[in-house]
Amino acid sequence: MAWTREDMAKRAALELIDGYYVNLGIGIPTLVANFIPDGVDVTLQSENGMLGMGPFPIEGEADPDLINAGKQTITELKRTSYFSSADSFGMIRGGHIDLSILGAMQVSEKGDLANWMIPGKMVKGMGGAMDLVAGVKKVVVIMDHNARDGSAKFIKECTLPLTGVRVVDMIISDVGVFTINDDGATLIELAPDMTVDDAKARTEATFKIGELLL
Amino acid sequence: MSKVYKGAEAALDGILFDGMTIMAGGFGLCGIPENLIAALRDSGKTEITAISNNAGVDDFGLGLLLQTRQIKKMISSYVGENKEFERQYLNDELELEFNPQGTMAERIRAGGAGIPGFYTKTGVGTLVAEGKEHKDFDGETFILETGLKADVSLVKAWKGDKEGNLIFKKTARNFNPMMATAGKTTVAEVEELVEVGELDPDHIHTPGIFVQRIIVSQGLEKRIEQLTTRPKSKGGA
């Protein structure tokens, strides 16, 4: 059985380490905050200028001056600090954030990421994604393993405009978990009832099979 | 010479012209100078180059100036909230320069700080790097980005005093402090204008030297783009 969006978010939460400063992207990555393991204390950064992001506000208490990078109303915590966009990206570009979890349209077997533009179709912009993948120490992608038409998203070379070159360290998809480093990509975990052959059939990228799956 | 003006129209008088470059603070609709944007629209000035992280939504924020076709070019990082923007761009009616958000923030900071250019690793190997100087430092490749300045910067703060010292509130700060430094003329609108001496000097985010004109916001809407809440009874995000 393939992993659901929540399963992927739960798996991604296992990458959180006590004391980490973490930036969560919009969409499935935001769900990761719901599955932070007990005993693990992480501080969430929001690139619009906040460290120490709290939960959504209680009904009736939303503050228009307090939003996250997805423009959702949120709350502050005791540890919260606010700062400008320049300081925020100083943190990001300067390598002070430990982990970034974001979505993808395509990932190449070398770790190239495309997630911001479909030429002639989608004109939204990269927002902070290029800065995040360039500066954050570890980059984890959560994505559906295949596009809606069934085509592979984990491929040899990205065909869409890139967000960053050799920036992705890990992919968590409905199929399983892949790591990517200088030696290439490796399948290290499979979702329940998924087989290595399933993973191969749904992937264009070349990958090795991790020890635990052999 | 007093920096305090009666309203947005008076505060923009004499500094606007066709073909000008403006900066407008805000992230989404959070921390945008609502009164000043409305007054800029009402001025009827056209061929504007607008530097702002986003383009507002169709009927609010900078979206107001897109509706009236006053903007010729936008420099932004993300415009996904504005359908009219997308339509104008895909029809070649609008020029667009996408900057990575951190690069944009730093370009504005640099512009205001007298730094004409800087090297960053953001965007190396992407469309953003095309045509830009590349340089290696310690075995890693960086690209040259230039500082940004504006004829007029429009910013929004929470509190200000009559010298133009500003304090921002929560995430409404975003691009406002850097933009205040990068405008030839910077106009600030504040929710509360106090006498000089009432703000704690240690708490001032933007020193008054960067602000030439200041007004008190009237009838702020402070629209929320994505109202997300949790029920009173339960915990969790």
Beta strands in chain A (DSSP E): 21-24, 43-46, 50-53, 76-82, 99-102, 106-108, 113-114, 138-143, 154-155, 170-173, 176-181, 184-190, 207-209
For residue A131, give the chain B residue with the closest CA: B122
Determine which of B91, B101, B115, B227 to mutate to test the interface with A (most A C-beta atoms within 10 Å).
B101
pLDDT at B237 over 90: no
Quick one: CA dihedral A85, A88, A92, A94, positive or negative? positive
The answer to whether the CB atoms of B81 and A73 lie below 8 A apart is no
Note whether B117 contacts A: Cβ–Cβ < 8 A: no
CB contact under 8 A, A49 and B120: no
Rounded Cα gap, residues A65 and A51, in angstroms: 15
List the Cα angle A106/B83/B125 in 5-degree steps.
30
Quote the pLDDT of residue B234: 53
Taking only the tens place, the pLDDT of each residue in B78-109 is 998 888 888 898 889 999 999 999 999 999 99
Would the pLDDT of B236 be above 80? no
* Average per-residue pLDDT for chain B: 95
Alpha-carbon distance of B125 to A172, in angstroms, equals: 24
Point out the residues of A that are catalytic: 47
Task: Give the integer Cα–Cα distance in Å for A186 and A200.
Answer: 12
pLDDT, tens digit, 9 for 90 and up, residues A121-151 = 877 899 999 999 999 999 999 999 999 999 9
B87 touches chain A (CB under 8 A): no
Considering only the beta carbons, identify the residue of A34, A92, A126 that sits closest to B236.
A34
**pLDDT of amino acid A184:** 96
Average pLDDT of the residues in B58-66: 94
Beta-carbon separation of B29 and A62 below 8 A = no
pLDDT (tens digit per residue) in A86-126: 999 999 999 999 999 999 999 999 999 999 999 888 778 99
Q: What is the pLDDT of residues B167-204, one digit of tens each?
A: 999 999 999 999 999 999 999 999 999 999 999 999 99
Q: At what angle do helices A85-93 and B101-112 cross, to 10 degrees?
A: 120
ipTM of the complex: 0.96
A36 has pLDDT over 80: yes
pTM for this structure? 0.96
With a cut of 80, say whether residue B231 has pLDDT above it.
yes
CA distance B70 to B25: 18
Rounded to whole angstroms, the Cα distance separating B50 from A129 reads 22
Inter-chain contact A73–B79, Cβ cutoff 8 Å? no
Q: CB-based contact (8 Å) between B191 and chain A?
A: no
The confidence band for B233, taking pLDDT boundaries of 50, 70 and 90, is low
